[in-house]
């Protein structure tokens, strides 16, 4: 009897919900029943309310069940799990689950489908095609392809990736570097983590292409220490690539070298800022550098350096494989391609939704998210991480693209969307934003270092009714100073959540509307 393939994710979030225990139990009970099971530990499909999501390969396709707990295994096997039998946890064919079917998965096309560390799976799902094409092109043509695709930095700054690459390509130096920013510290985001855990070769392929394009032979992936599983998978993936000739002194026998190293971060949020990150890799405190010089010209160890976020680099293999026009045709205006939106916080159907730019919060919150987990009305939605604005209901129809969000004083950031229900006190969240800034500020510039602490004090005085009017004035003035005079986004964007909370929810600050 041919073994039936069963998929139980190894994504951290699935593990946190009992996936290891489910996998172990499934194997044990299957063995006792004399069933022949081939267990595959895939990445997550990104429907986290259904995790652990167990899938079975059937003649009709993959059939899903979830969320599965250990005490469901007996009844699942009784129901004919291996044939995709009916069960109360049954979800039908995975591909047809509306949450997935409605998405436009480009970067996340393989996510949850393949075994993350199987090179043959990766190859069978278009892996290395981008790199193989890149190896037939010269550096300028690769850079042009990325420029033409319209790809912008997915870490949050949204700087055109191709332009950055062109600068590095044009710089004259013996040594250049590709640095991947995997210091995904924003609350509400996990797309980098999913990529590293669920499709690591895609990121490696993107970095190799970047290296070949700009003439860099060395890359670093700077991964936050809170992601031990991602670090482990990436380390293993690098070893596999080395042994198979995708990394090393001659990439795919091309004679072009690319070496890749993992650097583990140490829990400083500000190291997600590119210059602080470079300082950290160099072995120093993660203090922000003044720009210029741009890292593209004087970056890591003073050499020309591409610093890109995980999703930016991971989008490159597809762009090289399918061509710039294919990618550019998704999205709106100057926001081209897709963004993996991440639905988090108090949401019923939390998970990863990759869609072209231009979708609205209303669609994400209701059609995908299905409202709050608590069942209460949504009060506020923070878009773009802890430095992003709280977006009130009146703006939920604004298209999610870089320009439209800038126009309403908000940001898309890294695509994190954190949902809060009506029990949330927005003054408390505004205070937290200032407190977080005080805790994480690198201390180099005064508006951020001092302003954040003064901000906490001002909010405390407002909420305890001490000189309220004057303190509101002071808080706004302070926020303007932080916005205009901070060296980086840490101090420069902390005012976004603070002022949006104050402007849209004044009643929570005890201010009469």
Partner 1 sequence: MPEHNSCQSVIQKFIDVNGAENGALLPLLHAIQDTFDYIPKSAVTLISKALSLSEAEVHGVITYYHYFRYEAPGRHIVQICRAESCQACGSDELLAVAQDILGCSSHQKSRSGLITLEPVDCLGLCASSPAIQVDNKLHARVSIETLKGVLVDLEASA
> Residues 159-198: x/- map of binding to partner 1 (CB under 8 A)?
-------------------------xxxxxxx--x-----
Q: Are 14 and 51 in contact (CB under 8 A)?
A: yes
Q: Judged by CB under 8 A, which of 346, 395, 486, 500 binds partner 1?
A: 346
Q: Distance (Å, rounded) from C-alpha 14 to C-alpha 21?
A: 10
Residue 52 is a binding residue for partner 1 (CB under 8 A) = no
Residue 108 is a binding residue for partner 1 (CB under 8 A) = no
Residue 51 is a binding residue for partner 1 (CB under 8 A) = yes
Residue indicated by tokens 């092109």:
137
Q: Judged by CB under 8 A, which of 34, 283, 292, 375 binds partner 1?
A: 283
Residue 342 is a binding residue for partner 1 (CB under 8 A) = yes
Distances in whole angstroms, Cα of residue 358 to Cα of each of 149, 195, 296, 391:
17, 23, 30, 16
Q: Distance (Å, rounded) from C-alpha 56 to C-alpha 33?
A: 17
Q: Distance (Å, rounded) from C-alpha 134 to C-alpha 147?
A: 14
Q: Distance (Å, rounded) from C-alpha 186 to C-alpha 266?
A: 15
DSSP structure class, residue 152? B
Residue 382 is a binding residue for partner 1 (CB under 8 A) = yes
Structure tokens at 125: 């799902």
Comparing CA positions, the residue from 468, 499, 470 lying closest to residue 483 is 499
Residue 377 is a binding residue for partner 1 (CB under 8 A) = no
Q: Are 92 and 64 in contact (CB under 8 A)?
A: yes
Region of 78-86, 120-128, 275-283, 463-471 interacting with partner 1 (CB under 8 A): 275-283
Q: Are 312 and 151 in contact (CB under 8 A)?
A: yes
DSSP structure class, residue 263? E
> Residues 199-238: x/- map of binding to partner 1 (CB under 8 A)?
--------------------------xxxx----------
Residue 420 CB, nearest distance to partner 1 (Å)? Answer: 5
Residue 17 is a binding residue for partner 1 (CB under 8 A) = yes
Residue indicated by tokens 């990529």:
195
Residue 12 is a binding residue for partner 1 (CB under 8 A) = yes
Q: Judged by CB under 8 A, which of 178, 179, 352, 359 binds partner 1?
A: 352
Residue 420 is a binding residue for partner 1 (CB under 8 A) = yes
Q: Judged by CB under 8 A, which of 208, 347, 445, 472 binds partner 1?
A: 347
Q: Are 270 and 259 in contact (CB under 8 A)?
A: no
Angle at 380 between CA 108 and CA 432, to 5 degrees: 95
> Residues 67-106: x/- map of binding to partner 1 (CB under 8 A)?
----------------------------------------
How many residues lie near partner 1 (CB under 8 A)? 59
Residue 304 CB, nearest distance to partner 1 (Å)? Answer: 16
Q: Judged by CB under 8 A, which of 7, 48, 65, 108 binds partner 1?
A: 48
Bridge partners of 421, per DSSP, are 378
Other beta carbons within 10 Å of 223? 25
Residue 395 CB, nearest distance to partner 1 (Å)? Answer: 18
Q: Distance (Å, rounded) from C-alpha 299 to C-alpha 413?
A: 23
Residue 43 is a binding residue for partner 1 (CB under 8 A) = no
> Residues 123-162: x/- map of binding to partner 1 (CB under 8 A)?
----------------------------------------
Q: Judged by CB under 8 A, which of 3, 102, 236, 301 binds partner 1?
A: 301
Q: Are 302 and 329 in contact (CB under 8 A)?
A: no
Nearer to partner 1, 439 or 513 (CB): 439
Q: Distance (Å, rounded) from C-alpha 476 to C-alpha 486?
A: 15
Q: Are 219 and 178 in contact (CB under 8 A)?
A: yes
Q: Judged by CB under 8 A, which of 13, 82, 383, 445 binds partner 1?
A: 13
Residue 363 is a binding residue for partner 1 (CB under 8 A) = no
Q: Distance (Å, rounded) from C-alpha 400 to C-alpha 403?
A: 9
Residue 466 is a binding residue for partner 1 (CB under 8 A) = no
Who contacts 29 (Cβ-Cβ below 8 Å, separation ≥6)?
73, 74, 77
Q: Judged by CB under 8 A, which of 84, 206, 416, 455 binds partner 1?
A: 416
Residue indicated by tokens 């139990």:
25
Nearer to partner 1, 8 or 344 (CB): 344
Q: Judged by CB under 8 A, which of 264, 291, 334, 466 binds partner 1?
A: 264
Residue 424 CB, nearest distance to partner 1 (Å)? Answer: 7
Q: Distance (Å, rounded) from C-alpha 166 to C-alpha 188?
A: 32
3-state DSSP assignment of residue 409:
coil
Of how many residues is the chain composed?
513
Structure tokens at 209: 């292409």
Bridge partners of 90, per DSSP, are 65
Residue 354 is a binding residue for partner 1 (CB under 8 A) = no
Nearer to partner 1, 25 or 352 (CB): 352
Region of 48-56, 94-102, 146-154, 246-254 interacting with partner 1 (CB under 8 A): 48-56
Which residues here bind partner 1, judged by CB under 8 A? 12-13, 15-17, 46, 48-49, 51, 184-190, 193, 225-228, 263-269, 280-286, 301, 342-347, 350-352, 373, 382, 386, 416, 418-421, 424, 429, 432, 436, 439-440
């Amino acid at each position: 009897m041919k073994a039936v393939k069963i998929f139980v994710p190894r994504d951290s979030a699935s593990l946190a919900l009992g996936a290891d225990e489910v996998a172990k139990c499934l194997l044990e009970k299957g063995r006792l029943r004399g069933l022949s099971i081939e267990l595959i530990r895939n990445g997550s499909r990104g429907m986290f309310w259904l995790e652990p999501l167990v899938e079975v390969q059937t003649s009709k396709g993959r059939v899903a069940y979830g969320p599965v707990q250990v005490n469901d295994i007996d009844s699942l096997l009784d129901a004919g799990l291996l044939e995709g039998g009916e069960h109360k946890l049954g979800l039908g064919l995975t591909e047809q689950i509306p949450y997935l079917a409605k998405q436009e998965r480009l970067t996340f096309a393989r996510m949850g489908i393949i075994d993350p560390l199987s090179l043959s799976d990766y190859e069978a799902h278009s892996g290395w095609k981008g790199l193989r094409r890149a190896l037939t092109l010269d550096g300028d043509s690769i850079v042009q392809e990325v420029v033409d695709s319209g790809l912008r930095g997915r870490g949050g700054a949204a700087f055109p990736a191709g332009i950055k690459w062109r600068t590095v390509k044009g710089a004259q130096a013996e040594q250049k570097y590709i640095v991947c920013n995997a210091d995904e510290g924003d609350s509400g985001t996990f797309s980098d983590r999913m990529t590293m855990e669920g499709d690591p070769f895609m990121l490696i392929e993107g970095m190799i292409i970047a290296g070949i394009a700009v003439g860099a032979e060395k890359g670093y992936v700077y991964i936050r220490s809170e992601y031990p599983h991602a670090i482990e998978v990436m380390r293993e993936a690098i070893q596999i690539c080395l042994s198979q000739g995708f990394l090393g002194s001659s990439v795919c026998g091309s004679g072009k070298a690319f070496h890749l190293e993992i650097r583990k971060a140490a829990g400083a949020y500000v190291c997600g800022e590119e210059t602080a990150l470079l300082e950290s890799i160099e072995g120093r405190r993660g203090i922000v550098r003044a720009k210029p010089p741009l890292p593209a010209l004087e970056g890591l160890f003073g050499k020309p350096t591409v610093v890109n976020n995980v999703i930016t680099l991971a989008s490159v293999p597809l762009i090289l494989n399918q061509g710039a026009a294919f990618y550019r045709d998704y999205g709106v205006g100057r926001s081209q391609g897709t963004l993996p939106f991440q639905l988090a916080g108090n949401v019923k159907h939390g998970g990863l939704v990759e869609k072209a730019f231009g979708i609205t919060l209303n669609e994400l919150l209701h059609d995908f998210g299905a409202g709050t987990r608590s069942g209460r009305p949504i009060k506020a939605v923070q878009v773009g991480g802890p430095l992003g604005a709280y977006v009130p209901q009146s703006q939920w129809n604004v298209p999610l693209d870089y320009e439209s969000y800038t126009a309403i004083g908000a940001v898309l950031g890294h695509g994190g969307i954190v949902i809060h229900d009506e029990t949330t006190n927005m003054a408390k969240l505004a205070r937290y934003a200032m407190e977080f800034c005080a805790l994480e500020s690198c201390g180099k510039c005064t508006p951020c270092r001092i302003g954040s602490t003064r901000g906490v004090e001002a909010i405390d005085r407002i909420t305890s009714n001490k000189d309220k009017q004057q303190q509101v004035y002071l808080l706004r003035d302070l926020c303007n100073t932080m916005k205009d005079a901070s060296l980086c986004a840490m101090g420069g964007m902390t005012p976004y959540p603070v002022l949006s909370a104050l402007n849209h929810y004044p009643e929570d600050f005890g201010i009469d509307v």
